[in-house]
């Protein structure tokens, strides 16, 4: 699978019933856990003081990412997404570490 950096900004439409917002947010948390267990959602951060998220996601390609991963998020209709395809960098310190030996920190 390929990795993608995804910035998601959620804007709830004005006048949306607060119960609908709460329901979708709860469903979003459940779906995020499912995607993480499938290896599709790798990491997720929220910039301090902002209502957006930045994450590393995995998919076969960008179409798969939009249709079968991000498209399954309950908040997706209210989201804008900026997607950047990623590739390994030759100076990535994590790529050369290999498996940790017993007793050594990662």
Gap between the terminal Cα atoms of the chain:
23
31 located within any domain: yes
Which tokens hold the place of 20? 């609908």
Residue 5: the pLDDT is: 98
- CATH code of residue 11: 3.30.70.1060
pLDDT digits (tens, 9 = 90+) for 9-36: 999 999 999 999 999 999 999 999 999 9
Structural domain count, the chain: 1
71 located within any domain: yes
Q: What is the domain extent for residue 70?
A: 2-86
Beta strands in 1-106 (DSSP E): 2-10, 41-45, 52-59, 79-86
CB 70 within 8 A of CB 31: no
Residue 102: the pLDDT is: 52
Q: d(Cα 12, Cα 3) in Å, to the nearest integer?
A: 28
104 located within any domain: no
For the CA atoms of 24, 28, 29, 33, what is the dihedral angle to 10 degrees?
A: 150
Residue 101: the pLDDT is: 47
Q: Tell me the mean pLDDT per 10 residues along the chain, length 106.
A: 97 97 97 98 95 96 98 97 95 69 48
Q: d(Cα 106, Cα 104) in Å, to the nearest integer?
A: 7
Q: What angle do CA 25, 32, 64 make, to 5 degrees?
A: 115
103 located within any domain: no
């Amino acid at each position: 699978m390929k990795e993608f950096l995804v910035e998601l900004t959620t804007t709830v439409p004005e006048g949306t019933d607060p119960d609908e917002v709460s329901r979708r947010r709860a469903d979003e948390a459940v779906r995020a856990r499912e995607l993480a267990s499938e290896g599709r959602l790798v990491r997720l951060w929220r910039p301090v003081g902002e209502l957006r998220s930045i994450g590393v996601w995995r998919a076969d390609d960008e179409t798969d990412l939009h249709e079968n991963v991000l498209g399954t998020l309950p908040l997706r209709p209210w989201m804008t997404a900026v997607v950047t395809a990623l590739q390994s960098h030759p100076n990535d310190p994590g790529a050369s570490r290999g498996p940790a030996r017993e007793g050594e920190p990662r």
